[in-house]
């Protein structure tokens, strides 16, 4: 028991970040499940974080109100953004969400209420580890269940082939917007919890490179099953500590290990680390004949 307390004293903040990152990775998985490549979820986390921080600092709202407010705000923005941008596909959707993320970041730098480039300070440190992991468990359960529901079948059909899905009665636009909005709400909630973990949030906490990290967590862990993104986020968030444990100093080597892991996974485990634990089907191979039309 004492050892456990000691472990927590040393690694508590890593454990918290694993939970937050896993939740953020999961939020992106809602969009990836339908084959949509979004780089906007870091910005949704930012919207959630700033909204919640402002609610707490300026309006003295209780934590649960701030968390839900942040999540809701991110969801509303996700809904408004999703309707126009989800017509775009592939890298173009990625670029549009990236541009959106930059606009959000620039707004956070320039607004007074967000505290500008120095960030929003004075947010009480009241998120607890159990809250993070409760939220993560609920989101993971929701994700796992969603996949077996009507929405889940629709989303996966869209990922596989949009035209065929539409001809089976799947309302493509509606399902995409729903998935995008749910993802935004989960990201917003995670961002809101993050804000109350740190005293301070700054625009840098939610930039382009965070968005890329979320994608990387998903790919390394595996996008096709609910625990894939959690696995990826946990491994890559803990990796610096693990490497420190085996004596690798901070800096270039750690970074290189990150890159090499990612490269090896994408080359040899296209369904991510999760495919080591379940029998997931391999990614389709291009056949000679033209299958896209």
CA–CA distances in Å: residue 42 to residues 1, 23, 170, 275: 37, 12, 28, 26
> Sign (positive/negative) of CA torsion 41, 43, 46, 50?
negative
Interface residue with another protein, options 62, 90, 122, 124 (CB under 8 A): 90
How many residues sit in the footprint of another protein (CB under 8 A)?
Answer: 75
Q: Which of residues 217-236 bind another protein (CB under 8 A)?
A: 219
Which region among 63-71, 190-198, 226-234, 279-287 touches another protein (by CB under 8 A)? 279-287
Beta carbon nearer to another protein, 10 or 168: 168
Which among 3-11, 54-62, 67-75, 207-215 is the span making contact with another protein, rule CB under 8 A? 207-215
Which CB atom, from 3 or from 169, has the smaller least distance to another protein? 169
User: Which residues are paired to 120 by β-bridges?
Assistant: 201
Binder to another protein among 22, 34, 185, 216 (CB under 8 A)? Answer: 216
Q: For residues 247 and 252, which CB has a smaller minimum distance to another protein in the complex?
A: 252
List the Cα angle 123/126/131 in 5-degree steps: 130
Choose the binding region for another protein from 18-26, 62-70, 143-151, 191-199 (rule: CB under 8 A). Answer: 143-151
- Using CB under 8 A, which residues numbered 19 to 38 contact another protein? 37
Residues 6+ apart with CB under 8 A from 15: 8, 129
If one asks whether residue 139 binds another protein (CB under 8 A), the answer comes out as no
Give the residue ranges of DSSP H helices in 36-62. 41-59
Q: From the list 109, 200, 239, 243, which residue makes contact with another protein (rule: CB under 8 A)?
A: 109
Find the shortest distance in angstroms from Cβ 61 to another protein. 28
- Of the two residues 7 and 118, which places its CB atom closer to another protein in the complex? 118
286 binds another protein (CB under 8 A): yes
HEC string of 72-121 equals HHHHHHHHHHHHHHCCCCHHHHHHHHHHHHHHHHHHHHHCCCCCHHHCEC
How far apart (Å, rounded) are the C-alpha atoms in residues 144 and 152? 9
């Amino acid at each position: 028991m004492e050892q456990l307390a000691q472990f927590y004293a040393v690694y508590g903040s890593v454990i918290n970040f694993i939970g937050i990152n896993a939740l953020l990775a999961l939020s992106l998985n809602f969009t990836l499940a339908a084959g949509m490549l979004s780089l906007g979820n870091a910005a949704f986390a930012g919207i959630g974080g700033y909204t919640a921080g402002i609610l707490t600092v300026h309006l003295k709202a209780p934590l649960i109100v701030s968390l839900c407010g942040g999540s809701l705000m991110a969801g509303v923005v996700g809904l408004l953004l999703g309707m126009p941008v989800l017509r775009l596909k592939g890298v173009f959707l990625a670029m549009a969400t990236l541009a959106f993320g930059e606009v959000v970041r620039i707004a956070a730098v320039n607004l007074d209420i967000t505290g500008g480039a120095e960030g929003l300070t004075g947010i009480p440190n009241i998120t607890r580890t159990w809250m993070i992991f409760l939220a993560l468990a609920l989101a993971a359960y929701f994700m796992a269940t969603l996949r077996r529901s009507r929405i889940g079948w629709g989303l996966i059909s869209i990922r596989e082939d949009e035209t065929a899905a539409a001809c089976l009665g799947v309302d493509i636009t509606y399902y995409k917007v729903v998935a995008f909005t749910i993802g935004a709400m989960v990201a917003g909630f995670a961002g809101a919890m993050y804000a109350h973990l740190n005293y301070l949030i700054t625009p840098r906490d939610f930039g382009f490179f965070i968005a890329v990290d979320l994608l990387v967590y998903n790919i390394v862990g595996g996008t096709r099953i609910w625990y894939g993104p959690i696995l990826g986020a946990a491994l890559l968030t803990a990796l610096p500590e693990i490497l420190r444990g085996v004596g690798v100093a901070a800096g270039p080597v750690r970074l290189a290990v990150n890159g090499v892991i990612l490269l090896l996974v994408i080359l040899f485990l296209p369904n991510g680390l999760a495919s080591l634990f379940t029998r997931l089907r391999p990614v389709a191979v291009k056949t000679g004949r033209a299958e896209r039309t």
